[in-house]
Structure 1
Amino acid sequence: MKNPNDYLFKYCPQCGGKSLVISDEKSFLCSSCNFKFYLNTAAAGIALIFNKKGELLVTKRRYDPAKGMLDFPGGFTDPGETIEACLIREIKEELNLKITSLKYFCSVPNTYVYKTVTYSIIDFAFLCSVDDFDTIKASDDVSDFYFMELTNLDINRFGLDSPKIVIDRLREGPISITN
């Protein structure tokens, strides 16, 4: 695998020399001081929330990447935060909803380009329960939301790759939804 950021990082963060060279797909090595600079994989959570009718909660992205495209609610973990705590926080921030339970569904490797830097991501999808949708409102990174039947989801309307893979996996087999 090629390092997707090879054109961006040239200066060593330790010695300041213009001496960073590609070490592998996720790191750079300073040829002057031997400092190794890593761009490690980041963790993100995807919330799969179904209402009582069995419709899946889908959001519309407010910002790039993929502004205006469909997505699932969720986001990146903060340092020291578990993926479960991340999802509880993100769903409160984005939709003003309180997750009452989470059940691991799957994980999907992904890339995320933000301001020309390509980040390696691992998205963890969880089936999440919400008892009350009365407080739902689009906020933060979400410009709108919809409840849609899984069979009616058009994966081409999703701007990032991992939600498309998650949709395919949801369609593969029976899932247990407790709401």
Structure 2
Amino acid sequence: MTPKLFESFQHCPMCGSANLCQGALQRKCGDCGHAMFNNPIAAVAVWIFDAENRVLLIERGREPAKGKLAPPGGFLDAGESLEVAAKREIEEEVGLKIKDLQFVCSHPNDYLYGGKTCSTCDVFFTAQLAEPAGNGVAQEGEVTAMSWRALADISRDDLAFESMRVSLDKLRGLRLLCRKK
């Protein structure tokens, strides 16, 4: 089993003491009293729709889940809102501009990084292309391929993470509700 990042901390980041009291959600330094919490890292992903109502999927170029499909996205930078991070990540990862960003859902995820499992909160949006359909430009090393697909043609098993499968299910349900109105 891969160790959790939070559980791997052996010293207090404030005073360097190894006297840490361990708990599932918190570690507290027995010497200086500093408390560290097991808070998730925020990530965003966007189901981008084109004029033909297809969504953009990338093929992941790195582990974890290298070669699996995903809506483009990534991690928030300090000082960013979810919306700003979503737009930045889309421009960086696939070279596209988006508009009409709408929240779909959020879901917890475990993300393997540097041999440790990090807890994340993955936040999913939908958006429209801001410009006429373009192919975009895949970020070298991060994305090995890009394709536009109908929601009905996306296999849950091809998606990189369970959070993405949950989001796809939610998105499909929302689209069905919109058609019934």
The aligned residue for residue 10 of structure 1 is 10
Alignment of 1:144 with 2:127, yes or no, is no
Give runs of aligned pairs for residues 99-110 of structure 1, distance below 5 A. Answer: 99-110=98-109
Could you say if the C-alpha distance between residues 55 and 6 of structure 1 is closer, same or farther in structure 2, counting changes exceeding 3 Å? Answer: closer
Question: Which has the larger share of helix?
Answer: 2
Change (3 A) 1:132 1:21: farther
Tell me if 1:95 matches 2:94: yes
| Stretch deviating more after TM superposition (84-93 or 16-25) | 16-25
Contact 1:6–1:22 under 8 Å retained in 2: no
CA contact (8 A) 1:10 1:21 kept: no
Comparing 76-85 with 4-13, which one deviates more in the overlay? 4-13
Q: Secondary structure at the match of 2:96?
A: coil
What are structure 2's unaligned runs of at least 5 residues? Answer: none
Match of 1:158 in 2: 159
Q: Paired residues, what number? A: 174
SS of corresponding position for 2:110? strand
For the residues of structure 2 that align with 1:168 and 1:160, how far apart are their CA atoms? Answer: 13
Counterparts of 1:31-70 in structure 2 under 5 Å? 31-70=30-69
Match of 2:22 in 1: 22
Shift in Å, 1:105: 1.6
Across the aligned residues of Structure 1 and Structure 2, the Cα RMSD in angstroms comes to: 2.1
Residue by residue, what CA displacement relative to the aligned partner does 1:6-55 show, whole Å, maximum 9, x if unpaired? 65111122222222232333x21122332212242222111111122221
% identity of equivalent residues: 31
Mapped contact 1:39–1:119 kept (Cα < 8 A): no
TM-score if structure 1 supplies the norm length? 0.86
1:78-121 deviations in Å (ceiling 9; x for gaps) = 11111111111111101110112211122222222211332222
Q: Which runs of 5+ in 1 are unaligned?
A: none
Contact 2:48 2:98 in 1 (8 A): no
1: CA distance between counterparts of 2:5 and 2:98? Answer: 36
Task: Tell me which moved more, 30-39 or 73-82.
Answer: 30-39
SS in 2 for 1:17: coil
**Secondary structure of 1:174 counterpart:** helix
Match of 2:112 in 1: 113
